[in-house]
Structures are given as C-alpha cells and as structure tokens.
A and B are shown apart, each in its own frame.
Chain A
Amino acid sequence: MEYFVQQLINGLTLGSIYGLIAIGYTMVYGIIGMINFAHGDIFMLGGFAALIIFLILTSVFVGLPVVILLLVMMAAAMLTAALWNWTIEKVAYRPLRGSFRLAPLITAIGMSITLSNFVQVTQGPRNKPIPPLVSSVYEVFGLSVSLKQIMIMILTVSLLAVFWYIVNKTSLGRAQRATEQDRKMAALLGIDVDRTISITFIMGAALAAVAGTMYLMYYGVIVFTDGFVPGVKAFTAAVLGGIGSLPGAVLGGLLIGLIESLWSAYFTIDYKDVATFSILAIVLIFKPSGILGRPEVEKV
C-alpha cells in the first residue's frame, strides 16, 4: 500500500511536468490547429536557460537563498523561451499561415531538429548535471515526500489556475477563444489575430520553461535530446485530455505520469514508453476527442 502511494506521488510529480508542457501544445493546437512539434524543444531550451542562469548565479553570488535562486532561474528561463517561441512563430510559422496544411508541420519538425542541434552545437552533446538544489524530504505517515515534489505540484496547480483565469475571464482570453472559433470573423470584429496568436505562443513557451526548470531541479541533469520524448509524451497528454482543453491537458499529463510510474513499478521499466504510446494509440482510435474534449461531428 505504501509502495503504491509512493508511486502515486512520483507519478503525479512527473505528470505535473508533462501537464505544463501539454498546455502549450493544447493552446497552440486550439488556436491555429497546428501540432507545434518544436514545443518539446522549447521545453528543453527553457531547461538549459535555467541551467546557465543557475551557473551564473552560483558563481557570482555565492550563498544565495534557494528560493530566490529558483525564482530567478524560472523567470529567466520563461523570458528566454518566450522570446524564442515568439521569434519562431513570427519567422517560421506566420508566413505559412493559411497555406498548405502540411507546410507548418514540416516547418515545425525542421524547427525541432534545428533547436536541438543548435543546443548541441553551442552547449555540447554531453549530459549537464547540477548539484541538488532542494533536498529536504518529509516523512508523512511512513511515506517520504520530497520538498521538490511538493513544489512541482503546487506550482502546476497555481499556474493552471492563473491560466484558466486568463483564458476564461480576461479580454485576452476572449480574443484567444474567438480566434480559435473563427479567425476571419475575429479579425473582422477588430481582434488583432496576429498579436493574439503571438501571445499564445509566448504563454505556451513560458509554461514549458517552468516545466524545463522543474525538470532540471527534479532530475538534476539535462541534455540536448531531452526535448523529444517529454515533448511527445506531453502531446499524448494533451490528446488524452482532449486537445484544446486546459484542464484536459493537465489531467492528461497526470494520467500519463501515473501510468508511467505505476507501469514501471509493477510491470517492467523497459516497456514504460511502449505503454504510453499504446495508450495514445488506443485513445485516439476509440475516443479521438479525448477525455474532456468535444466530439467532432462529420459534416456531409
């Protein structure tokens, strides 16, 4: 029983990270109907930005409190990742908007290859380990819960709340939803569609950067290829939850995290990714609209 709950906590932590990345996928897919393949690499880029900031801070200001350290890392990673995603959208995706459907997908795959290789070329191909930042572990009812797990989960929940508020209650969110429904009509009603889409990319990247920072803190290591697998899993999470739905993305992320950790704990760690991908395939085949998504009706 304790073992099970322990795995549950591990799964939820991992799932929170997937959920944060998944929000970016779901928002971009919702607004321009495009799988932003490079999003996983934005996550990796965010992780690297946090790593470099960490190295700057620890070498310049020795003995900085961990909270401030983490906050600055996160803020800098968010800024950098947002700037990257904004530039990518403007340079690579915007000229293709409304053209041939496959072109943006290929561009995004090209961007993903470019980003990971850019980091490989500029930062080197080796694993980048950092010393543990947060190492306190609490014993609760015979379970060990680490502080970083608690931090990740709290952060995910609060960010989700903030984003849910933005999308549902602010004029920016209204503009986003309007653009999602009908881009032409939104433009006619005076919504700056380009700006709305840009902001969506910025928001998605910022969340991915938070996830990247958490990933770095949780595992204490990052490498340039780390964008692909978490990226695909986060996309799986977005689809599982119902693409276009924010709570769905987080729910999907948590489920994927749980499945992964429970599968590794009770079956075999070798096939954990096979399990994730199989679930993706099964969900898409039998319920393509996901758990919280709206079903699509075929119009004749």
Chain B
Amino acid sequence: MSALETNTMTNEPILKVEHLSMRFGGLMAINDLSFEARRGDITALIGPNGAGKTTVFNCVTGFYKPTMGMVTMTQRSGKKFLLERMPDFEITRDAKVARTFQNIRMFSGLTVLENLLVAQHNMLMRASGFTILGLLGFAGYRRATEQSIEIAKYWLEKADLLSRADDPAGDLPYGAQRRLEIARAMCTGPEFLCLDEPAAGLNPRESLALNELLRSIRQDTGTSILLIEHDMSVVMEISDHVIVLEYGQKISDGTPEEVKNDPRVIAAYLGVEDEEVEEVIEEIEEIQETEGGQGGKH
C-alpha cells in the first residue's frame, strides 16, 4: 500500500468499461460507453444532468445489471474481476470497489464509530469465526476488534471526525456526513473508490477539506478514485483524467486541460437550456486564467 508502488504502476488501467449499455424500458440511459480509469488516478465523470453518470456508477458497483457490455476491474495483485456478473455486495467484498451515494446513506441511528465498524464487517466476520468463536469469547476476535477500532480511528482522524466518534451519525452536519460516508467506504479497504457527487451541497471551506481528504486518500493508500461531480472547481483541481458524458454517450475523454478546450464539451454544456451553462463556462474561463500556462498534469 505504499505510495511508491502506485507511482510505478500508473497508466495501467484499474477499471475498464467496454461497450456498456443500459436500457430502462424504451430509454437508452447509456449507449455503448467505453472508458478506462488508470491506477492511482483520480478520474472524473462529468456531464449535464441526465447524462447517465449515476447509471454508470450503478452499473460499475453492481446496483444495476447492464443490458450489455463488460466492466473489468484489475486488482493490484493482477487478479481480474468481471463486475457486471457479480452481485453488488461481492463487488465491494471481493473486487474491492467501494462507493458512496448521491443522497447520503448513513446508518443514522448508529454512532459514527459503529458506522465505520459495520464497514469492516467481512474482516470481523472472519475473525469472529462467523460469530461462533466470537460468541465463545476467543481472543482472536478481541484482537480483531481492537484492530478494527484502530482502523476506524485512523479514518476518523483523516475525516476530522474524531471528536464526534460517539455521536449518532444522524446528528452530524451535512458536510461531516459526506466525509463520514467516504471514511466508511475507505474502511472496507477498497482499491477503487467511486464517489457520487461528494462535493454536492458543501460550502467552500468544506469543499476544500474534501479535496484535501481525496488527495490524501490517493497519496497514502494508493486507492484510485472515480468521481461524479458537478462542482467544476473540484473536478479541474484534483482530477487527473476527465470523461464527459452526454445522453449516455462519451463525448470527450482526456486531461482536464484537453477536456475544457474540447468544442464538443462546450457545445454540450451550451446545448443545455440552464443557468448552469453560464456558470460552467465562467468557471472554466476562471480556471484557465488562474492556471495560465501550467498545462496538463501528464
């Protein structure tokens, strides 16, 4: 899990989506979509509302079964998983792909710490001998519990939630719940983390803290990240690779620099009758101005 290892392995795809299609009744939500996310990268999936971003996520994480196509996850060990054939919980448990949700899904009646312990279910389940040894009070389980609390503590510190560990998760403010959801996903020990609009509804300060958290996740654990985002400042600032969707199809794919200059992307955003468009263009220009001649990250 060292940073060094990840650096040497960049450019190797960790997730490969090939000819993915998803049909809901008569509606083609995703149409023949192919893209790759590379190991160690933060890959962003952007696009106007209704472009099918969340559907892609749900297909990758097994919550939807795609109508057609292949989703391949390659682990660090070289082991490959065909995600479209696996049930959702196995994708997290075996293929090591974790996710968060657009509408936060907390265990609001459990404490923050308990939330993180639930995320380590499979590890603890094995350690407790599928409950039986644990019930009999074997020492192995006690050690595993202590270890799991250490892991939880590590992520609580990262997410700046240590002081609230014993409060019910439902009692946290919105931004903290977002961070908790990411920390909880990390407690499953993923190699690939999918975040569905992690910055939605955050204030600028929380947004900065989030960027920090995501960077440190990549730095310290080498976890690759795929994120859906509307907030362009987040996308442009932290992602290494951007994929743009429109009407379920890929219209652009490249570094943030390349994507924001792509005429098709600009047209796609302009094509939408929405105030959002102005915002996006302004933001793009702003970023271009501030970043000046820095160029891409690759």
Contact = CB atoms under 8 A, between A and B. Distances in A.
Do A's and B's CB atoms come within 8 Å in the complex?
A: yes
Interface of A: 300
Contacts of A300: 54, 58, 63-64, 101
Interface of B: 54, 58, 63-64, 101
5 contacts: A300-B54, A300-B58, A300-B63, A300-B64, A300-B101
Nearest to A298: B63
A102 to B, nearest CB: 14
A294 to B, nearest CB: 13
A300 B64 CA distance: 9
Contacts of B58: 300
Contacts of B101: 300
B63 to A, nearest CB: 5
B218 to A, nearest CB: 25
Contacts of B64: 300
A177 B255 CA distance: 50
B92 to A, nearest CB: 14
A129 to B, nearest CB: 54
A300 B101 CA distance: 8
A285 B115 CA distance: 31
A185 B63 CA distance: 30
A300 B58 CA distance: 8
A99 to B, nearest CB: 15
A70 B63 CA distance: 57
Nearest to A300: B63
Nearest to B99: A300
For the complex of A and B, the 3 pairs showing the least CB-CB separation, nearest first, are A300-B63, A300-B58, A300-B101
B279 to A, nearest CB: 27
Nearest to B63: A300
Contacts of B54: 300
Nearest to B102: A300
Nearest to B61: A300
B26 to A, nearest CB: 15
B228 to A, nearest CB: 13
Nearest to A299: B103
